[in-house]
Amino acid sequence: MPVDLAGPIFALYEKALARAKAQQQKGNMFEAAAAYRQCADHLTQYAGYTTDPRARAQWLEKAKGFRELAEHITTKGPPIKAAENGGDANQYDDEVAALIFKSPVSWIDIGGLAETKNEIKTAYGLSMVHPPKGIKLRGWRNLLFYGPPGTGKTLLAAATSNGLEATFFNVKVSNLLSKYFGESTKLVSALYAAARRMAPSVVFLDEIESLVGQRGGTESGAELRVVSTFLAELDGLTGKADENYIMTIGATNIPWMIDKAILSRFEKKIYVPLPDIRARESIFKIHLASKGYKVEIAFPELAKRSEGYSGREIEHLATEAVKHMVEEVNPQLVNLVDQGRAALEKYELRIRPLNQNDFDKAFARIKPQATQSDLARYQEWRDATE
Ligand SMILES: Nc1ncnc2c1ncn2[C@@H]1O[C@H](COP(=O)(O)OP(=O)(O)OP(=O)(O)O)[C@@H](O)[C@H]1O
Ligand SMILES: [Mg+2]
């Protein structure tokens, strides 16, 4: 019997990944790329030891992702060190590099939202095609996603970025403002300079309502400067915006709190609603069937029962049902934990198809959070802005 090296190989992969991330954080992109390539090699080997064909395919896919990332880093050069902005922005290389994010999410991982996906693709498509001679067309570059929590806004932004084979800059605006207080303006310039260099890029500005310019008049000069820097970037006025495609995606749960000047820069505002019945069915499938679980209850039944739940809450329902099933058929698990890691590693987890009782328990525990009045508020805002 061949020796099973899966464990040690996986450990090598984890070490290589930690190394890659550390190098990337430091802005040492070539070292990072080399380590990502090692990650890919280890994962490919690891996949060879995986007996479940679905899992094997997933590992191989992940390995491919690492190879692409390494390729991206090396072909586009050490991304920020040579920022076109010259000396000043380079001071923020590390901070900006830390915002670059490679997510494996693709369109098929997102249930429902077909119309939303099409709007995004149209926005991008219009920006890239050649209009007939004499016709000036400026596609949308700035999209705003708004809607209740957990409806897939972040997922959509990541899938957009992957779909466009773009570099994804994941920015939580409140972090940017608090962590780099006073320095945020320079960081924003460095961010967009890097995005231009690594174009096509998607700059995702989460919690964009934290960016406040003229509300109440209590803002400091520094805050006002950050806002005006963003405004200039959103207008695409800085540098060769037309050659280097950057899509900025803002996201918020409270669109009515967004600064008016910022809001007006988003040419396209896209409502990301709670999932309808068909979307709920596909979200259940994504989080159960696609992960290998058998379900005794028909998916349309689950979709009907989960009216008012967000995608995130449906994911929680799925996790909760699985947890209930696992606990029920593996009562010895708690004892095993007490016996230590060796005992756990030898134990093969039992599973069975998910049944009515598992879901009853999950539905009892997880309740939808969005209220009718919350939803009405989005509708009102939508009517007022569109
Ligand atoms: N349409 C969907 N299809 C599949 N999974 C979904 C969907 N919507 C949400 N989820 C699940 O919920 C999780 C949270 O989604 P996501 O982070 O995109 O929500 P969000 O709209 O950005 O929320 P927030 O406003 O709180 O930031 C996802 O990681 C995913 O597991
Ligand atoms: Mg989000």
> Which tens digits make up the pLDDT trace of 12-54?
999 998 988 888 877 777 788 889 889 899 999 888 888 888 8
Concatenating the DSSP letter of every residue in 176-214 gives HHHHTTTTHHHHHHHHHHHHHHT-SEEEEEETGGG--SS
253 pocket-lining for ligand 1 (C-beta < 6 Å): yes
Q: How much is the pLDDT for 78? A: 46
Is 101 in contact with 249 (CB distance < 8 Å)? no
Q: 81-271 falls under which CATH superfamily?
A: P-loop containing nucleotide triphosphate hydrolases (3.40.50.300)
Nearest atom in ligand 1 to the alpha carbon of residue 156 is: 18
151 pocket-lining for ligand 1 (C-beta < 6 Å): yes
From 109, 143, 154, mutation site for ligand 1 pocket: most ligand atoms within 8 A of C-beta: 154
Task: With a cut of 90, say whether residue 288 has pLDDT above it.
Answer: yes
DSSP H/E element including 365: helix 356-365
Query: Tokens for 216?
Result: 């109440």
Q: Whole-angstrom Cα distance, residue 386 to residue 382?
A: 6
Ligand number, closest to the Cα atom of 312: 1
Long-range contacts of 19-28 (CB under 8 A, 24+ apart): 24/73, 24/97, 24/98, 24/100, 25/94, 25/97, 25/98, 26/94, 26/97, 27/78, 27/80, 27/81, 27/93, 27/94, 27/97, 28/78
| Closest CA relative to residue 197, chosen from 243, 164, 236, 229 | 243
Task: With a cut of 80, say whether residue 256 has pLDDT above it.
Answer: yes
Is 67 in contact with 42 (CB distance < 8 Å)? no
Assigned fold of 277-369: Helicase, Ruva Protein; domain 3 (1.10.8)
Residue 75 pLDDT class (50, 70, 90 cuts): low
Q: Whole-angstrom Cα distance, residue 295 to residue 357?
A: 12
Ligand number, closest to the Cα atom of 313: 1
Domain ranges of the chain: 1-78, 81-271, 277-369
Task: With a cut of 80, say whether residue 219 has pLDDT above it.
Answer: no
Residue 88 pLDDT class (50, 70, 90 cuts): very low
Q: Whole-angstrom Cα distance, residue 11 to residue 16?
A: 9
Block residue for tokens 């990541």: 158
Ligand number, closest to the Cα atom of 153: 1
Task: With a cut of 70, say whether residue 111 has pLDDT above it.
Answer: yes
Mean pLDDT to the nearest integer, 251-280: 93
Q: Mind listing the pLDDT tens digit for each residue in 112-133?
A: 999 888 888 888 788 777 788 8
Q: Mind listing the pLDDT tens digit for each residue in 344-383?
A: 888 889 999 999 999 999 999 999 999 999 999 999 999 9
Residue 159 β-bridge partners:
none
Class of domain 1-78: mainly alpha
Of the ranges 120-129, 158-167, 248-257, 375-384, which one carries the lowest mean pLDDT score? 120-129
Q: What percentage of residues in the chain have a pLDDT greater than 90?
A: 40
Q: How much is the pLDDT for 1? A: 41
pTM score, whole prediction: 0.75
Taking the centre of ligand 1 as the mean of its atom positions, its distance from the CA of residue 256, in whole angstroms, is 21
Neighbours of 48 (CB within 10 A): 13
Taking the centre of ligand 1 as the mean of its atom positions, its distance from the CA of residue 119, in whole angstroms, is 18
